[in-house]
Amino acid sequence: MRSEMLNSILSDLNGSTADIEASAVLSTDGLMMAAVLPAGMDEDRVGAMSAAMLSLGDRTAEELGRGALEQVLIKGDNGYILMTHAGHEAVLTVLAKSNARLGLIFLDVKRAAESTAKIL
Segment 16-43, tens digit of pLDDT: 989 999 999 999 888 999 999 999 999 9
C-alpha closest to that of 21 among 97, 80, 102, 100 = 97
pLDDT at 6: 95
Q: What is the mean pLDDT of residues 80-94?
A: 94
Supply the pTM of this predicted model: 0.92
Angstrom distance (rounded) from CA 7 to CA 92: 12
pLDDT at 101: 92
Tell whether domain 2-119 is in CATH 1.10.260.40.
Answer: no
* pLDDT exceeds 90 at position 82: yes
Angstrom distance (rounded) from CA 42 to CA 47: 9
Angstrom distance (rounded) from CA 31 to CA 67: 26
Q: What is the mean pLDDT of residues 109-120?
A: 95
* pLDDT exceeds 80 at position 73: yes
pLDDT at 102: 94
Return the C-alpha torsion angle 5, 80, 90, 6, nearest 10. 0
